A and B are shown apart, each in its own frame.
Chain A
Amino acid sequence: MFKNYIISAIRNITKSPFYAFLNIAGLTIGMATFIFILIYVADEISYDKHNTNYSRIHRLESDFTIGSKHDKFAIVPIPMGPALQLEFPEIESIVRFRGIDNTLIIYNDKEYYEDNFYYTDSTIFDVFSCELLVGDLKNSLVEPNTAVLTQKIASKYFGKENAIGKVISTGSGRQYKVTAVIQNQPENSHLKYDALLSASTLAKEVGEEEFNSMEPNRFWNIGVYTYVMINKNSSIQSIHDKFPDFYDKYMKSLGDQFNASFELMTTPLSEIHLNSDLASDLPTGNKAYVYIFSIVAIFILLLAAINYMNMATAQSSNRSREVGMRKVMGAEKQQLIGQFLSESVLLAIIANLLALLVVYMFLPDFNGLTGKALSYSLILEPEFLGLIFAVSVFIGLVSGSYPSFYLSSFMPLNVLKGITTSSGKPNLLLRRGLVVIQFFIAIVMIIGTFVVSDQIDYLKSKDLGFEKENLIVMELQDSAFRSKVEVFKEALLQNPTIENVSNSTGVPGDVSWIQVMLVEQESEMKEFAIILAQCDYDFPSLLGLNFITGRDFDKKMGTDDTAAVIINETAARQFGWIDNPIGKKILYGMELDRSGGRSMKVIGMVEDFHFNSLHNKVEPIILFISQVPRFFVTARIKDGKKATALEHIEKCWHETGADRPFNYTMITELQEEMYEGEEKISTIFLIISVLTVFIALLGLFGLSSFTAEQRTKEIGIRKVNGATLFDILILLYKEFFWLILISFVLAVPIAYWRLSIWLETSFMYHTEIHWLSIMLAGISAMVIGLLTISFHVVKVASSDPVEAIKYE
């Protein structure tokens, strides 16, 4: 019996290969997109689960309240971990990580800037799972000046040579002996280290006692990523419950002086990637996208299933005689339903196999697009294949459901009478409904694509309150070089392509220094945690900040390098000075008893400028001149002269005495990096909408061909009775015009609602949803929809009426 079903299915495919192709193509694209989204989502939720003990590992996080400022950090004070372990028997082990960014690492003639090297406690191997390649983990990272490298770093510096015992050094001269090489970190780790340096190195340098001190002041400095592994039978909650006592013991005395308080927060290891939204965090994923894409995946499958339903029912006239005869022969309704369901399941499985092939072919592109490094092995996992297979059977059943009930309810009597075209009214209504659903989904996706791209344009073109073009940033890591920064600046300015140079502790896109200061209030000085950038005289003019009131730093004033501060509008507003900020006092760098420090007066207030990404709102920031080590040198170069300028800068770099390789970024690049996530999403959105629209069009194309076939006779009669070609075109287009219009009207509110939520939750500063984008989405859907059906419309409309009538 089954064999007969299959024969019947195959014969139907070969009888109308074109429709079978449309059907399978739609299902294949749908399934392939679904699989891609599935592996994306599976990867996103798999983060850090490769650690055997992941369910017992939690990251410690800080929630500081200082004055009125409330800040949450992904890092905690340095002694927090050890102190908690001392107090709470629930904690089995702790490990801390302190990253070093952009650090020069040297081995013989090999010199590279490294980003993902971390100082780490030797307990890391108790907490996290690492695969040892060579060496010994047991005593690794215990001794000062030792290192454990990942495979990638080991082969980068030592090639095929044995890395064990080799010594690498940093640009500042610290040396590390390699004691073990471990496997590279899996891509789905939120903390992707390339190498680990022993934390005891730091302890040795600052002094064991100082490093391990648990004095109160050590708890009020923000510091390191810390992970705790709790005992098998304990829960993290008990630590939270007992934390108030801990706070009283270790932190309260000093906190009260500051008018500050602290809450300990924790996040389970496996949830960090998608749930973290903290300052100082490593790059994390975005839960919203996981949700959106999951929904889109289901949408796409639905689209493909609808396509199948639509075409299978539209094709029913081809099958009615078969159905009728099977019934006459004694087939029961259930048997026929079974037959058509097995047919759709068979097709879905074929589509599924093709989809796997498509996924296999496009996986590298997918990786490029998403920035992931997913391998084929993931797709070939039996569980994964099992799931995909189950989904395809499910889709087969869903897509086959309506057609099979519809087809199996044909009355054999009709067939005996030779009535084979039996598309009744309700069926037509349903098919129209399905087209509306498809176009609804497609239009939502198109609007989404337009709005995401509008938002990206907005991010890129928004006035940031400073002139971001033509700014080159260099980082001076070498203290010898830093001491010669004035010489370097002078040398740079010798060339006419360099317009301005400044030296500062932060640049827009990279300002992360926050400190508690005393700020003048009505009757007294009060604590505020404020973002600051310390700089030289030229910084405000270099950035092109706009002064609302007051003046820029001025050498002639004589005291600006010790007593002047420039604030932004938000700072003035928050401190209650907006009407008259000039002359107000800020005390920086005071002792705990408020003595000492540097007292500064506000000399100018600038318009708010975006020193962070537009995801965040502008916070108070102050600028002042100081002599602390200032790592950044920023140069403004003449527009269009980048190449000459860079040549000159590099020459000066080496002549002034930097023995490190020349390294720079453009401020605009820093800006773009902030929106890389959105850029990727935008591309993915675009691709998915193109596919969605394509599937919907396949469906429309198929449907229109059947409508055309069915109406051939009607059109013929109309023509014989004097209808013009134009009348006929209107008649045929009208139906689809209305369907697409209805889809559009349904899609707009849903898209508007969902996208507003996305814009508002993801960005402090965002574009409006332009009506133009929405109209454009509707018009494009309409145009391509009507174009798609034109093929058949024109064919039918221009057919010879005599032929058409003879047809029956």
Chain B
Amino acid sequence: MIQTNELTRIFRAEEVETTALNKVNINIEQGEFVAIMGPSGCGKSTLLNILGLLDTPTNGVFNFFNENVAGYSERQRARLRKKNIGFVFQNFNLIDQFTVFENVELPLIYLGLSAKERKTRVEAALEKMQMTHRRKHYPSQLSGGQQQRVAIARAVVSDPKFILADEPTGNLDSAHGDEVMNLLGELNQAGTTIIMVTHSQRDAEYAQRVIMLFDGQVISEKLSSEKSN
């Protein structure tokens, strides 16, 4: 489903060049739950952004459903993105001035669904995350864990092929973190592909496979301890 070949990302900022990704080759199949780990600054987020079509590689091949999207324009990427990918962030990134319902509804708006269709889908997503009773609330009225559940509802509402999560538990205490990880696990059980960046060994255990990055390079790929056999 996702496959990269010598994927390289170089940041150039006034004289300084940072090679954030250096010839990365990875391959992720449908239905997988993959964790990406590594020290700070090793390029995890950079990789995730490229996989999420938010950023383009400087070099290399990025096959997205067998289509090399490495050179795609912003507009082409936006179109692929909205149909296929859901995002979950460390800092939730809910829009403060929107209610829970409106936040979850947002991706559907750009898919051009009817108001009725949107309503059913949002209700279903909130139901799944057990946030239906909070639908009229604003993000600031929710706890961190609740906010992240809303963010996950938003990520899944458009029924994406896979979900990208960048340190989804980074801002949560362990109880809420576990809750979020369980939800992601359930989604994966139901067939959604999940790619997650994390610093936490605990979280990584939910994944079937762990990709270790160091200085922009993949240094190891191993099956997660729990699911190894």
Binding site for B on A (CB under 8 A): 1, 3-4, 7-8, 11-12, 14-15, 321-322, 324-333, 335, 412-413, 415-418
Q: Is the CB of B75 within 8 A of A321?
A: no
Q: Nearest chain-A residue to B154 (Cβ)?
A: A329
Contacts A326-B106, A328-B87; A416 near B78 (Cβ below 8 A): no
Q: Which residues of B contact A15 (CB under 8 A)?
A: 96-97
Q: Which residues of B contact A3 (CB under 8 A)?
A: 115
- Report how far A415 CA is from B49 CA in the complex, Å: 12
Partner of A321, one of B81, B93, B111: B93
Q: Nearest chain-A residue to B87 (Cβ)?
A: A328
- Report how far A412 CA is from B54 CA in the complex, Å: 7
Is residue B166 contacting chain A, with contact meaning CB distance below 8 A?
yes
Contacts A327-B78, A332-B75, A333-B74; A321 near B106 (Cβ below 8 A): no
Which 7 A-B residue pairs are closest in the complex by CB-CB distance?
A330-B82, A11-B97, A329-B107, A330-B110, A322-B95, A330-B81, A330-B78
Q: Which residues of A contact B95 (CB under 8 A)?
A: 321-322, 325
A4 to chain B, nearest CB (A): 5
- Report how far A4 CA is from B107 CA in the complex, Å: 11
Q: Which residues of A contact B75 (CB under 8 A)?
A: 332-333
**Given known contacts A333-B75, A417-B45, what 13 new A-B pairs fall within 8 Å (CB)?**
A7-B98, A11-B97, A12-B97, A321-B93, A329-B109, A330-B78, A330-B82, A331-B82, A332-B78, A416-B49, A416-B54, A416-B93, A416-B166
Q: Is the CB of A413 within 8 A of B110?
A: no
- Report how far A12 CA is from B115 CA in the complex, Å: 22
A690 to chain B, nearest CB (A): 35
Partner of B110, one of A14, A329, A418: A329
Is residue B79 contacting chain A, with contact meaning CB distance below 8 A?
yes
Q: Which residues of A contact B102 (CB under 8 A)?
A: 4, 7
Q: Is the CB of A325 within 8 A of B49?
A: no
Number of A-B contacts (CB under 8 A): 73
B116 to chain A, nearest CB (A): 13
Q: Name the interface residues of B170-212: CB closer than 8 Å to any CB of A.
A: none
Can you name 24 A-B residue pairings with CB atoms under 8 Å? A1-B109, A1-B112, A7-B98, A12-B97, A322-B95, A324-B93, A325-B106, A328-B81, A329-B106, A330-B82, A330-B83, A330-B110, A331-B78, A331-B82, A332-B75, A332-B78, A332-B79, A413-B49, A413-B54, A416-B45, A416-B49, A416-B89, A416-B166, A417-B45
- Report how far A4 CA is from B106 CA in the complex, Å: 8
Q: How large is the interface on B (under 10, 10 to 19, 20 to 34, 35 or more residues)?
A: 20 to 34
Q: Nearest chain-A residue to B98 (Cβ)?
A: A11
Q: Nearest chain-B residue to A323 (Cβ)?
A: B95
Contacts A330-B79, A333-B74, A333-B75; A415 near B107 (Cβ below 8 A): no
Q: Which residues of B contact A331 (CB under 8 A)?
A: 78, 82, 110
The listed residue with most A CB atoms (<10 A of its CB), out of B74, B79, B110, B112, is B110
Is residue B55 contacting chain A, with contact meaning CB distance below 8 A?
yes
- Report how far A326 CA is from B93 CA in the complex, Å: 11
- Report how far A333 CA is from B75 CA in the complex, Å: 8
- Report how far A624 CA is from B75 CA in the complex, Å: 91
Is residue B91 contacting chain A, with contact meaning CB distance below 8 A?
yes
Q: Which residues of B contact A412 (CB under 8 A)?
A: 54
Q: Which residues of A contact B87 (CB under 8 A)?
A: 328
A312 to chain B, nearest CB (A): 15
Q: Nearest chain-A residue to B151 (Cβ)?
A: A325
Q: Is the CB of B91 within 8 A of A322?
A: no
Q: Is the CB of A325 within 8 A of B93?
A: yes
- Report how far A15 CA is from B54 CA in the complex, Å: 29
A9 to chain B, nearest CB (A): 10
- Report how far A393 CA is from B126 CA in the complex, Å: 39
Q: Is the CB of A321 within 8 A of B96?
A: yes
Q: Is the CB of B98 within 8 A of A8?
A: yes
Produce 1/0 per residue, B41-83, CB < 8 A to A. Answer: 0000100010010110000000000000000001100110111
Q: Nearest chain-A residue to B55 (Cβ)?
A: A413
- Report how far A325 CA is from B155 CA in the complex, Å: 11
Q: Which residues of A contact B105 (CB under 8 A)?
A: 4
Q: Nearest chain-A residue to B102 (Cβ)?
A: A7
A12 to chain B, nearest CB (A): 6
- Report how far A332 CA is from B54 CA in the complex, Å: 12
A464 to chain B, nearest CB (A): 67
Q: Name the interface residues of B87-143: CB closer than 8 Å to any CB of A.
A: 87, 89, 91, 93, 95-98, 102, 105-107, 109-112, 115
Q: Which residues of A contact B45 (CB under 8 A)?
A: 416-417
- Report how far A7 CA is from B107 CA in the complex, Å: 15
Q: Which residues of B contact A328 (CB under 8 A)?
A: 52, 54, 81, 87, 93
A314 to chain B, nearest CB (A): 17
Q: Which residues of B contact A326 (CB under 8 A)?
A: 106, 110
Q: Which residues of A contact B107 (CB under 8 A)?
A: 329-330
Partner of A335, one of B54, B97, B98, B110: B110
- Report how far A322 CA is from B91 CA in the complex, Å: 14
- Report how far A8 CA is from B102 CA in the complex, Å: 10
- Report how far A23 CA is from B109 CA in the complex, Å: 28
Q: Nearest chain-A residue to B91 (Cβ)?
A: A418
- Report how far A413 CA is from B112 CA in the complex, Å: 24
Q: Nearest chain-A residue to B89 (Cβ)?
A: A416
